[in-house]
Structures are given as structure tokens and as C-alpha cells.
Amino acid sequence: MAISNNSIFYHIYSLGFCGANEHNDYCSPATSALSKISENIEHLKKLGINAVYLGPLFESESHGYNTVDYFHVDRRLGTNEDLRNLINNFHANGIDVILDAVFNHSGREFFAFKDIKNNRNNSKYTDWYLNVNFSGNNHYNDGFSYEGWAGCLDLVKYNLKNHEIKDHLIQAALQWIREFNIDGLRLDAADVLDFDFMRELSQRCRNEKQDFWLVGEVVHGDYSRWTRDAGLNSVTNYESYKGSWSSFNDNNFFEIAYSLNRQFGQHGIYRQIQMYNFLDNHDVNRIASTLNHNEHLPLVYGLLFTIPGIPSVYYGSEFGIQGKRENNTDKQLRPALEKLYFSELTEWISKLIQIRKQSPALYNGDYKELLVASKQFAFMRNFQNENIAVVFNCDFTNVTLNLKLQQNGCDLLTGETINLSNVEMKQNSMRIIRF
């Protein structure tokens, strides 16, 4: 397999899902916590998942994004052998795997930073980090200052112009390919990563594995820069993420319609990019806690699986769990889950995934807006001889819509024959019409 437009991702924040201790003591024996993920592969297959993004797995101080060792699995999760077995199990079940690559910064317990603390300006690693200054100090009272990611001094920012740290990180990625046979990487904080570094990483990974796939975490900006200038395949689509839920909350489909047309319409700036689409993740509130009305939860998933790009489901959100970021903590977003299960929402999402997989127009097709109003929205996807009209009504009353198409089609959700110039929509409903 190879990651493509027909991939359906499932995102697992591994330390949370597996119930790992909050802090690493660096001396406890390795657990077997990764087996909890293996135990739920059947759930993912039933859902229709064919690609998994695993949150940070390698030895870190606490939450995984303060790495201390890129070459060994975090003992709170297991061993390298456990990870190899897990990925082999995913592959045996037709599921691709990408890992979180935290290559912008390290934790303070990373060997190179510890050497700087011990040896100060005699350390050979001072140039591995940005703006190390022995004339300054910091709130840890190290006797020197340095740059942290977004001002967070527990995340010490690398100098990726330095050949040695650059090679250290790329060698880690190459080992992950060779030892674990991973299919790609999600580059953490790609919006501030050095472009020369990303380009070299992309090239060397693809020299090792030709169809290796890379997605960058980028919130704002021109997403095409990361595919054009850094060699990435995909970028996190925070623009459509925000427009998806706020269009429902504000009764303002004009917002998401504008974004989708700008991104994927006839002159869309991302028409040739496999954008990574999502409704929630380990950094933002759960979608079930974000929407104002529960009735809109199935509809926003309907949007996720019918717009251009590659959709991703965050673990547990397929059965509607709640979670908000509070008091500068992400704990509610990253809970331990012993067992994944099916609910009415999960069945709905599974049906959407099945329809998407069987419709080249939905995973490969062009995008064209058909109708937009405050509480109604319709667009068309077409590829070769297949046309799909996707129609939404987020109002709490029934409506009838004229899509100005003089044809009949079949609603893939219900099997009904639909006249596209007279589409009857129940309150808080959607249709996926093939014609």
C-alpha cells in the first residue's frame, strides 16, 4: 500500500491512549502498553481505516514532544521490538503507519543540552541549539539563555543549519524506516522548521523508501510553500478545520464555502495538494465539545469525508467523546481509552468512509460550489464519468433546494431517487447524490 487520496487516517496520541505515566523516570522497566493499540486494530478495520498516525513514541520527559532519545521507544510505551511488532500487525491488516517526528526542538534532558549545562561554552554541542548565550540566564537558572519553541524553554529549539544535529535527526528518521518499516512522518511544528532541513529530510527518506509520505503541521500561511519548497506531500488543513465547525455554530456556510472554493475550486490554490483534513486532534478541543448542537455532529463528519483532501479521525471522537483544553493542560484531549467501541455515530462515520472509498469523485474529483446560504450548502465533486452532489441543511426546519441541475440521482446514504432541481432536505440532514 501507499498513502494516497483514498487513505483514511486514524490519529492516536499514543502516550494518552495507552495510559502512560505523566512523567518519565528513566529507570523503570519498559511496559507493554503498545499492545493496547494492537488490541484495537479490528475496530479500526471495521471503521474503514487504512492509515494510522501515531503520536510521539520515542523516549521523552513527559508529553512526547520533549524528546530525550530518538532511537529508543519511550519505556512508558514499550520497546523497539514492541513497536516493530505493532507496525507489522498494522501492515498485515492493510493499514499504513506514519509517526510523529519532533525535529524542531528537544527536551532539556536530551544528551546534547545536558552537555551544554555541564560544560557550558566548552561543550561541542553549543551550536546544536539556537541563540545559546552565556552572558544571559533563564528561569531555570542555567547561567545561560537560549531559544525555546514559541517561548517555551522546556522545548529547546535546534539550530537546523548545523550539519551535526541535522544529520542526527535524519539518521533517526532513516532508522525508523529501516527498523520499523514506517510509511511516513508527520513533522511537528513544520511551520517553523528550516526549509533546507525539510527538503533534505524528504529527499533522503525517499531515497530509502520511494513512496515515503510526509505531512507538515502548519496552522497559518500559504500551505503550498511546504509542498513546493520543502518537498512535503501534505499539510494540516487548519483553515478548513476552523471553517468546518464554525460554519455550523454560526449558521454561516459562507465561511467554509469561501475556504473550499479558494483552496479547491476551479482556480483553487491547493488543487494539486493532498491536504490533511481533520475535525480535532491532540492540540484542539474535541469536535463534540466544540459544536453548539449535537445534531450537527454527523453533518460535520459528512463534510470531512466529502471535501477534497485526506480525512483523519482522532481516537475516540468517532463515538463522540468530549474534551476541552483547560488551565493550560491538554489532559482532557488525550485520555486513556481501554477499548474502542461502536456507537450510532461510529456506524455513521463507517458508512461515510465506505461511500468515500467507493467513489473516485469523492477522493479524486474536482470541486465546484452549487449553492450556499446561511444554513444550506451544496457542492459537486466529479471525476471522469462520476458526478456527486453533496447537500447540507443545518436548519432545524425542513427545506427544499434547487441545485439547478436537470437530472435525477441516487442518494448513496438512503438509496432514494432524487430530483436535483427539487431536493427535499429534512432538518439537520445531508445527502450524497450520485448522478
* Range with lowest mean pLDDT among 52-56, 71-75, 327-331, 410-414: 327-331
Q: CA-to-CA distance for 65 and 103, rounded, in angstroms?
A: 9
> What percentage of the chain has pLDDT greater than the value 70?
100
User: What's the chain's average pLDDT?
Assistant: 98
| CATH hierarchy code of domain 9-104+162-364 | 3.20.20.80
Predicted confidence (pLDDT) at residue 1 exceeds the cutoff of 80: no
HSE-up of residue 264 (Cα within 13 Å, Cβ side): 27
Residue 127: predicted pLDDT = 98
pLDDT tens column, 54-111: 999 999 999 999 999 999 999 999 999 999 999 999 999 999 999 999 999 999 999 9
Would you place residue 50 in the very low, low, confident or very high pLDDT band (cuts 50, 70, 90)? very high
Residue 217: predicted pLDDT = 98
Q: CA-to-CA distance for 16 and 282, rounded, in angstroms?
A: 9
Looking at 3.90.400.10, 3.20.20.10, 3.40.630.40, 2.60.40.10, the CATH number of the domain 105-159 comes to: 3.90.400.10
Residue 274: predicted pLDDT = 95
Are the C-beta atoms of 362 and 433 separated by less than 8 Å? no
pLDDT tens column, 221-269: 999 999 999 999 999 999 999 999 999 999 999 999 999 999 999 999 9
HSE-up of residue 267 (Cα within 13 Å, Cβ side): 1
Segment 264-280 mean pLDDT: 97
Predicted confidence (pLDDT) at residue 338 exceeds the cutoff of 90: no
Segment 12-22 mean pLDDT: 98
CA angle 66, 227, 229 (to 5 degrees): 90
Beta strands in 7-151 (DSSP E): 9-12, 51-54, 96-101, 105-106, 148-149
- Domain spans, the chain: 9-104+162-364, 105-159, 366-434
Residue 341: predicted pLDDT = 94
Looking at 2.60.40.10, 1.20.1290.10, 3.40.47.10, 2.60.40.1180, the CATH number of the domain 366-434 comes to: 2.60.40.1180
Classify residue 296 by burial, with Cβ atoms within 10 Å: 0-12, 13-18, 19+.
Answer: buried
Per the listing, cell 462515520 goes with 349
Segment 136-159 mean pLDDT: 98
Q: What are phi and psi of 272, to 5 degrees?
A: -100, 10
Element spanning 419, H or E: strand 417-419
Which residues fall within 8 angstroms of residue 184, CB to CB, at 6 or more apart?
A: 3, 96, 97, 98, 99, 212, 213, 214, 215, 233
Would you place residue 421 in the very low, low, confident or very high pLDDT band (cuts 50, 70, 90)? very high
pLDDT tens column, 283-302: 999 999 999 999 999 999 99
Segment 147-152 mean pLDDT: 97
Would you place residue 215 in the very low, low, confident or very high pLDDT band (cuts 50, 70, 90)? very high
Q: CA-to-CA distance for 203 and 214, rounded, in angstroms?
A: 11
- Cell, residue 260: 473550499
CA 424 to chain centre: 35
Would you place residue 394 in the very low, low, confident or very high pLDDT band (cuts 50, 70, 90)? very high
DSSP assigned state of 177: I
- Cell, residue 335: 485520555
Classify residue 72 by burial, with Cβ atoms within 10 Å: 0-12, 13-18, 19+.
Answer: middle
Would you place residue 328 in the very low, low, confident or very high pLDDT band (cuts 50, 70, 90)? confident
Whole-number Cα distances in Å, 60 to 33, 67, 102, 111 = 16, 4, 11, 12
